[in-house]
Amino acid sequence: MKLLIDFFPILLFFISYKIFGIYIATIVTMIASLLQIGLFWLKYRRIELTHIIALILISVLGTATLLLHNAIFIKWKPTAIYWVLALLFLGSQIIGSKPFIQRLIGNKISLPQNIWHRLNLSWAIFFACMGGVNLYVAYNFSTDIWVNFKLFGFLGSTIVFGVLQSLYMRKYLKQEPTESV
């Protein structure tokens, strides 16, 4: 359910772009991001920082897209989100007692502290690179290609990177002692 709520605005953007174009898709995404926060609140009784960041950025860049009638602003949204996330991950390496990735999933798995720092740094680099890739695609390809890349390219890259992270983490997971019978 959480995954569906997380991808709800992206999926609606993609569908509405294919049917109505970039400006209606921008409006739909702005509304969907607001609904996303509401649905998440109703289901989990909390709001995630990433949803707030996305809502703020879609509101600012979406409004600029609509008022100036220029799609480049909405195309900057993924870069802005990725770079804010990269800064959050990098900042947590310096500020606070735990890296951001450990705060996100540390209650589910146990890893040595140096591995948390490596994972955190690798996510920061991944997000920084994805922001750069988004700009490259936004400025060098058509809006149609950018929209397809936004959904399939980013989603696929994130899944592949997540799987690689899981494989890396697997060898460092602290094993729980098993009871012998």
Per-chain mean pLDDT for the chain: 91
Determine the residue type at 75: K
Dihedral of alpha carbons 19, 50, 52, 79, sign = negative
Calpha distance 102→81 (Å, rounded): 20
No. of helices (H) and no. of strands (E), the chain: 8, 0
* pLDDT attached to residue 174: 64
Mean pLDDT of 65-80: 97
pLDDT at 177 over 50: no
> Quick one: which of 136, 52, 137, 50 has its CA closest to 85?
50
Phi-psi region of 40 (alpha: psi -120 to 50; beta: other; left: phi over 0): alpha
pLDDT digits (tens, 9 = 90+) for 8-61: 899 999 999 999 999 999 999 999 999 999 988 998 999 988 889 999 999 999
> Quick one: which of 154, 2, 22 has its CA closest to 75?
22
> Quick one: which of 84, 95, 151 has its CA closest to 123?
84
DSSP annotation of 95: S
Determine the residue type at 152: F
> With pLDDT > 90 as the criterion, what percentage of the chain qualifies?
74
* pLDDT attached to residue 1: 62
Mean pLDDT of 86-113: 90
